[in-house]
Structure 1
């Protein structure tokens, strides 16, 4: 029941924020085959984009790596603190954090959004489903490769944040970096939130999307830097695929807001990173 409630909330948010436009020419099968082609092409596009990066793109990568390195410095105290307060977190929030970031539930929601758009022949909702599925698949596969390649020890393993066993996929205790739950949940949140202009709606969606990543911290499954990089991967992946889908679909949303900018703010005693999207 909880899964159905969250799904209908997502669809309700969309249908309230966007007008329904019905296609009458193409059959649903033609729409489905076109959309699945868009999914696979979108995934391929996201993996090949680094070959076409220019100055600003490499700068964004540098900011991301620099921010992750700074967060890496506080991984241990943050992990210790959040694991200590685990029992103070309401069980309903802990359950939501675990379930919503899991692959099975993720595709249940994204598939439901897409099939709803297909059933009512709504191109914007179909496109949203395509964006969700393609982004989750692209980022999800990347995080699986990185987990094995990096081989970082999880906090619950008892090892330090500096313990690595790269290219060893046999032991799940060395699958900490990055966080898969954070990636899947934030992918959904960013793909849906970017369709709305209302700051309160966007804030609510991002808040719900952040909980699964945070939940991995108090469970001792990931370090803070694992979660932070996972969320960054989600945002970059969604932005890349979304821009590609502009060439595949006539219906667009918030075209004026399709930008991603990073600003570093320095002041005495503090360093800040501002992301605009």
Structure 2
């Protein structure tokens, strides 16, 4: 398979970042605080995307994937399922820290809009790329390895935690990225993904959260014009027999 289809899709995704409309100080109080667009913010996602796409065709990078997988396979005694939970930890931490009285950049309603937008963009991107690439997983269980959805979720949450709390304490964000990196490692360790899958997932997670911070304030103020506030919220894990995750219930007034 040639990576042309993937390049086209990622061009469209990245192109969203070029359609940012600056939000000035005249925005009403209560609008989400946005992340000012700067070209350098695209550098890390671009590097991760480049590696992930190049590994589809590059014999050398395919060899790197295989060698890393073989080295880890020799040391695996049993699979570790912590990555199924760790992927949600950075995002959930934002709400947990706020509940402790440590305020972040945005209020409950606004940050939830941002996280929801990020997850929507991230989930759509992962789904489309998995169906375009059809790359077999290291354990041979299916052909939807590229990119890593767990890693994308973890890094979307890590960037969310970073943006909300970097001005309060930089270590919150660093810890979030450490957890996200660990999630990616265990996806490789458990034979569910190649290194390139993890790189691509990380890039998608970071970029989609940045895009959410760029566009949500504009959409909120100029299109939706919502004045609702969240009066209560509940976060709880769920398990439907096949999948595990974290659900959120909001009471708007």
Q: TM-score, normalised by structure 1?
A: 0.53
1: CA distance between counterparts of 2:70 and 2:193?
Answer: 11
- Which of 129, 148, 156 is the equivalent residue of 1:179? 148
- Specify which of 185, 192, 196 is matched with residue 214 of structure 1: 185
Which structure's residues are more often helix, by fraction? 1
Hey, what's the Cα distance between the residues in 1 that align with 2:149 and 2:51? 19
Which residue does 1:233 correspond to in 2?
Answer: 204
In structure 1, which of residues 153, 170, 182 is the aligned counterpart of residue 136 of structure 2?
153
For the 8 Å contact 1:191–1:238, the answer to whether it is kept is yes
Separation in 2, partners of 1:72, 1:86: 21
The answer as to whether partners of 1:85 and 1:218 remain within 8 angstroms in 2 is: no
Measure the CA separation in 2 of the matches of 1:224 and 1:154: 11
Q: Structure 2 matches for 1:1-277, cutoff 5 A?
A: 49=16, 52=19, 56=39, 60=43, 63-68=47-52, 69=54, 72-87=62-77, 94-101=80-87, 109=92, 124-157=107-140, 173-194=142-163, 195-197=165-167, 198-247=169-218, 248=220
Q: CA deviation at 1:140?
A: 1.0
2:239 aligns with none
CA distance in 2, matches of 1:50, 1:156: 35
> What is the alpha-carbon root mean square deviation over aligned residues?
3.9
SS in 2 for 1:174: coil
Consecutive unaligned residues in structure 1, runs of 5 or more: 1-44, 117-121, 158-171, 250-277
Which protein, 1 or 2, shows the higher relative CO under an 8 Å CA cutoff with sep ≥ 6?
2
State the shift of 1:201 in Å.
Answer: 2.2
Length-normalised TM-score, structure 2: 0.57
SS at match of 1:156: coil
